[in-house]
Structure 1
Amino acid sequence: MTSQPIAQGTPVLLRILPISFVNFCTYLGVGLPLAVLPAYVVYELKLGVVLGGFSVSSQFLSTMVTRSLAGRMSDAIGARRTVIYGLVAALLAGLMLTAVPMARDMPLFAYGLIVASRLLLGFGESCSGTGTITWNIGRVGPLHTAQVMSWGGVAAYGAIAAGGPIGGYAFDLDGLWAVGLLSTLAPAIGLAVALAHAETPIVPGDRTTAGRTLVLVLPFGLALMLGAIGFGGVASFGGLMFVAAGWSGASLLVAVFGLSFAGTRVVFAGQIERFGGYAVAVAALALETVGLTMIWLATSPLPALIGAAFAGLGFGLVFPALGVELMKRVPASSRGGALGIYTVFLDLALALAGPAAGLIIGHVGYPGIFAAAALCSIAGIGLVAFCYMNRKA
């Protein structure tokens, strides 16, 4: 298939959306097995809940480890090629998943296939998530970084949200084989779209070392991480808090947060370019703090749901707002590497949120998670102020 160059008169959004759709296809492959794999490991392979949990978390560990590699690949060999490698990895991961039911009489071997599939998918997610953003920045220019990052997040989290129920339906219909088939088709569609679009030029110039890049990214990444603790708390324990309080609609808290998160990126991403990333990041973290505090103090479902809406509206802009300012600090030739390291902090926050929240629950109950997350958001505001005061003239 022949790659087509970008028509220069094409509106920015129409240039962003095709590559964001590629990212959607990759993350759909991520989301499809999420809800069914732990149950399959526990009830079909009978390997216990610990291995059931690791069947999912192994992919996120792989993603966290390979994010930086994917960023450096984008800088060195091109973003499009990096994305294609990621899509091929995700496609192979889906094929491996289709083979698992054929090996269920050998539980350990079947489990090995699952973990290998998840590790490969983690690499694919890294390449796609980092590569599509770098590719889109190259297509529309750094002035539109906020829009690129915002639509990248909408694609990723929208795909994961859609993948869960679709994967569950496919599993009920024809077992894990059907889930694996869909997990193969999704990146295959993304691959077809990626091959139809041209590479952007590799930016020439010396690339900063990994250590120097980490120093540049660190304060921005830590601020992002502190904001993301609230996201992890809502996603992991929001429904459980409703159940523990005896409230109905346990899934609504996560749904409201997710819809607000996606909506604010679609509607308000342009405000980052208008007011600047630092100002928007402070306002976003402040709004998230208000929302998390409302969840903490809620005595009935409605205030908690309103708080989730505020928290989602706030956190939705933290990643692109800080990312815009970070990209200004990093040489264009090292943009992908910086983006990869920056995203690791989001992965790290989500990885740590569960264990940390578990410790908090034992002492102050579920609401205490959201009080702690609100304090983290406040600390994030302080870090954003530090980044602002230390910006280059």
Structure 2
Amino acid sequence: MTTSTHPSTTERSTARSLLPLVAIIFTGFLSIGIPLSALPLHVNGVLGYSALIVGWVVGIQSFSTILTRKFSGSYSDRFGPKRAVCIGLPLASCAGFIYLASTWIADPLWSLIVLIAGRLLMGPAESLFLTGAMTWGIGRVGVPRTSKVMAWQGIAMFAALGVGGLLGVLIQQRYGFSGIAWSTIALPLIGLAIASMLGALAVVRGHTEGLPFRAVMSLIWRFGMAAALSSMPFAILSSFLVLLYKTHNWDGAGNAIFGFSVGFIGVRLLFAHLPDRLGGRKVGAVSVAIEFCGQLLLWLAHDPTMALAGAVLTGIGFSLVFPSMGLQAMANVPAHSRGLAVASFMAFVDVAAGLTGPIVGVVIGLYGYPSAFMAGALACVAALLVMWRSGAQH
């Protein structure tokens, strides 16, 4: 169990406590974001596989992450979040080496198999360093600032995914997928260097075990489900926006992904306090409604400007859903089970990310690439229904 007793922490000291962890998340997630936009181009354009296979390759990391969330949360509670971070980041570099090895294989099938092995290894790597960093942040600044921890680290996460999307396209075009692999190898090691310089949180020994997994899930599942459904548009955008642009012969797919990131970060920077002030359900519902409008714009887009506007709106809407739902989820869970609660909450988003690619790949096969974003709009409607039902029961 990690302690978290800093109720008098000032805003300045909160920033000092969180900035190194934000840097760790940013570098770690760059190693995820850079391949994310390059994978569709590599798997479809170089290896020659369909959109369905692209969806599986992109989404399979999330299945691997899901299977290790419980372990990573319990490990962080038992041995401390620093150790979880310092194991997860080198694993991410190892996944990069496997990506690199896949480029040495001429046969497309075996190259794909090795690439998938790297994606599977990146799952537990992400699970450990992200769960560890989130738990570490809450332990350093205190539970009342949980939404700030999630907001700041979420900025780092999605900034890395947005910037990584733009960089991934550029690196893939200039250096091929081997350049993507070398980036994946190097970036987590920068995060590891930062983590090694930070002091570990105290781990309380001799305390009884935390809540069982089932009990934690019963406390947070409604909030996790809403977060999962509202994250599906992002999974769709990151997996298929590049191919939508390619299908229409549009330029600027990387700019659209970057636009998502700008919308996301701008709202987080200016309005991260709103869940604490107005309530998570209210802020979450308005956010998902904006996200819904962004998905409709992408579905109806007839030029790259309209698609860019849809991506930006999606980022604006998605921005505050995670901290809004996360704040409510963490408030329901005792401190000695916080690592498991963080991991379980994020597992809902992992499930959505893992299932979205394959399911939407089938939809695209039947109705074309624009239909992916209608599926995202429907996911937003489902998220609003879950929030409404959750509010009716409390």
CA shift in 2, pair 1:92/1:368, >3 Å: closer
- 1:11 is paired with a residue of what secondary structure? helix
How do 1:220-259 residues align onto structure 2 when only pairs under 5 Å count?
220-238=223-241, 240-241=243-244, 249=252, 252-259=255-262
Shift of 1:327: 0.2
Q: 1:100 to 1:366 in 2, by over 3 A?
A: closer
Of the three residues 339, 344, 354, the one matched with 2:347 is 344
Query: Deviation digits for residues 288-343 of structure 1, max 9, x if unmatched?
Result: 23333444455665555444333321111101110000000111111111221221
Give, as a single letter, the amino acid of the residue that structure 2 aligns with 1:223: A
**Deviation readout 1:73-126 (Å, 9 max, x if unpaired):** 11121111111110121233334445556x537887766654443322221111
Aligned match of 1:12: 14
2:295 maps to which of 287, 292, 300: 292
Shift of 1:243: 6.2
Structure with max Cα Rg:
1
- Change in Cα spacing, 1:292 to 1:320, as seen in structure 2 (3 Å) is same
Quote the RMSD (CA, aligned, Å): 3.5
1:274-296 deviation per Cα after TM superposition (whole angstroms, max 9, x unaligned)? 22222211221222233334444
- Aligned residue number for residue 70 of structure 1: 72
Q: Distance in 2 between matches of 1:384 and 1:106?
A: 48
Q: Structure 1 residues 183 and 51 mapped into 2: Cα distance closer, same or farther (>3 Å)?
A: same
Q: Which amino acid counterpart does residue 295 of structure 2 have in structure 1?
A: L
Query: What number of residue pairs does the alignment pair up?
Result: 384
Which residue matches 2:270?
A: 267
Q: Give, in angstroms, the shift of residue 210 of structure 1.
A: 1.3
Partner of 1:322: 325
TM-score for the superposition, normalised by structure 1: 0.82
The aligned residue for residue 390 of structure 2 is 387
Residue pairs, 1:47-66, within 5 angstroms: 56-66=58-68
The alpha carbon displacement at 1:213 in A equals 1.7
- Note the residue ranges of structure 1 that are not aligned, 5 or more in a row: 1-5
Q: Is 279-288 or 30-39 further displaced after alignment?
A: 30-39
Partner of 1:3: none
- Structure-2 separation of matches of 1:56 and 1:231: 13
- Per-residue CA deviation, residues 221-266 of structure 1 (Å, 9 max, x unaligned), is 2111221222233334445556667766555543332321222122
The whole-number CA distance in structure 1 between the counterparts of 2:270 and 2:323 is 13
Deviation sequence 1:185-224 (CA, Å, 0-9, x none): 2111111111111122346554111112222222112111
Query: Which letter does structure 2 place at the counterpart of 1:216?
Result: L
Percentage of pairs with the same residue:
34
The residue number in structure 2 matching 1:91 is 93
Match of 2:83 among 81, 84, 108: 81
Question: In structure 2, which of residues 251, 271, 284 is the aligned counterpart of residue 281 of structure 1?
Answer: 284
C-alpha change, 1:110 and 1:248, in structure 2 (3 Å) is closer
Query: Could you say which residue in structure 2 is the equivalent of 1:26?
Result: 28
- Give the alignment of 1:99-118 within 5 angstroms: 99=101, 104=105, 113-118=114-119
Distance across 1 between alignment mates of 2:79 and 2:150: 21
- Work out which structure has the larger RCO, using CA pairs closer than 8 Å and 6 or more positions apart in sequence: 2
Stretch of structure 1 that moved more, 169-178 or 209-218? 169-178
Letter in 1 for 2:140: R
| Pairwise CA distance, 1:180 | 3.8
CA contact (8 A) 2:240 2:369 kept: yes
Equivalent residue letter for 1:279: K
Residue in structure 2 matched with residue 215 of structure 1 by the alignment: 218
